[in-house]
Amino acid sequence: MTQTKTLTIVLAAGKGTRMKSRLPKGLHAIAGRSLLGHVLAASDEALDGDVAVVVGPDMTNVCNETEHCSPGAHTFLQAGQKGTADAVLAAREAIAAAGDVFVLFCDTPMLRPETLVEMRAALDAGANVAVLGFEAADPTGYGRLLTSESGDLLAIREHNDASEAERTVRLCNSGVMAFRCPDLLGILDQISCDNAKNEFYLTDAVEIARNAGLKTVAVASDEAQLLGINDRAQLAVAESVYQDRRRDDMMRGGATLIAPETVWFSHDTVIGEDVVIEPNVFFGPGVTVGNDVQIRANCHIEGAVIGDGARIGPYARLRPGAKLGANVHIGNFVEVKNVDMGVGSKANHLSYLGDGRVGDGANIGAGTIFCNYDGFFKHRTEVGDGAFVGSNSALVAPVRIGNGAFVGSGSVITKDVPDNALSLERAEQSTREGWAEKFRTVMKRRKANAK
């Protein structure tokens, strides 16, 4: 491997047995992105250089996720579960060719890029080892950061190995570490497994580095950033914290959230200015919303682009591939999937629009269905500019409704409609005078005789 300025090692070999899942822990998601993906995103934003992800046996899915989230990252196998130092040394080849080395964990997805920048600043200020710590509300179970009166980090003591006095320390170890050492591999190779769990602790590198005359420091962060996830309950807590952060970002960016606690964002949701979002709106991955948009209550939106001035909902569903131009109206109980909606077009009531295009200024009446699937293949429906599709119509794809054309209510359209034409498909209406009165008389007599 070529010499790099920085190497980020992400430890992702743990199976996460407390998650009670067939998925490795790092593949569970917050806001539509895997825990591993969140950590890799923070690293990619804050640190230049190579990325190494350490995986366990039979974790092809973690390797695939690594490539998806951080193309070009390398994966290394930790054959046995012998502790964090053993996991880091699985990437020995990468460490040998690196300069600065950062060690992160796939189960701390709340870590901000700015915090990694602070750790690099500590190295730039002269530290050889920087350890990220936090003041825990309840430090039970966490390793403790033991510091001198001058603020240097003396050691990291695991909870099981700490004395009673050391357990009173509230500054806790997050596990995140950064190294700028002349011989990091030499330090790691000195770590022993002489402890309560008979494991090789990466945290022992602090004392070894100090004994070698190197400077070790602690970098303080807030506990919320360093939430570890070991079970489903902690996953839910992390999701809640992440959503609160995203809601605050959105409101500070110019969006109005009527009931913020009921709106759920994806990690990549983009919201413009002067957007109003009513209660109970869910954004899945891949959504971009323009300026001056109103999203009314109880909408579900994923994989969609919404243009400036659009009006969505209530109770609308936008699925992947929905592209709404400026000033589009999508009303209650309308579903749009893989359809381009032209500027100023409308579908205000009870419709399914799938696979096609609706032209500028076109109107889709209540109860209209794009019949896009024949049981084997999907087909497209094209509705031209200024066209008007009457209520309760079925457009059987592939079909084109021309510019300015009209489709009469209740029609089943199976053939193309020319520009500015009227197309109707319905049986001739028949009216029988006095029929209803005779019918009621007969039925009342039958009911009486049945008693």
Q: Determine contact, residues 145/131, Cβ cutoff 8 Å.
A: yes
Which of 395, 379, 381, 388 shows the shortest CA–CA distance to 419?
A: 388
Phi, psi at 337, each rounded to 5°: -140, 120
Which of 315, 319, 316, 288 shows the shortest CA–CA distance to 302?
A: 319
Distance CA 273, CA 318 (A): 20
Among residues 159, 300, 349, 379, the one annotated as catalytic is 349
Taking the CA atoms of residue 245, residue 250, residue 255 and residue 261 in that order, the dihedral angle to the nearest 10 degrees is -30
- Location of structure tokens 């889709």: 364
Distance CA 434, CA 444 (A): 16
Q: Which sign does the torsion angle of CA 52, 58, 64, 65 carry? A: negative
Omega before residue 314 within 30° of 0, cis = yes
Distance CA 149, CA 233 (A): 38
Q: How far is CA 97 from its chain centroid?
A: 33
Phi, psi at 232, each rounded to 5°: -65, -35
Burial class from Cβ neighbours inside 10 Å (0-12, 13-18, 19+) for residue 127 reads: buried
Distance CA 36, CA 25 (A): 9
Burial class from Cβ neighbours inside 10 Å (0-12, 13-18, 19+) for residue 443 reads: exposed
Distance CA 303, CA 381 (A): 20
290-to-305, 323, 392 alpha-carbon distances in Å: 8, 11, 31
Distance CA 27, CA 65 (A): 8
Work out the number of other CB atoms within 10 angstroms of the CB of residue 123.
22
Q: Determine contact, residues 218/147, Cβ cutoff 8 Å.
A: yes
Token readout for 217 is 């420091």
Residue 369 contacts by C-beta under 8 Å, 6 or more apart in sequence?
A: 351, 352, 393, 394, 395
Q: Which sign does the torsion angle of CA 108, 111, 115, 116 carry? A: positive
SS3 43: helix
74 as an active site residue: the answer is no
Residues with active-site annotation: 349
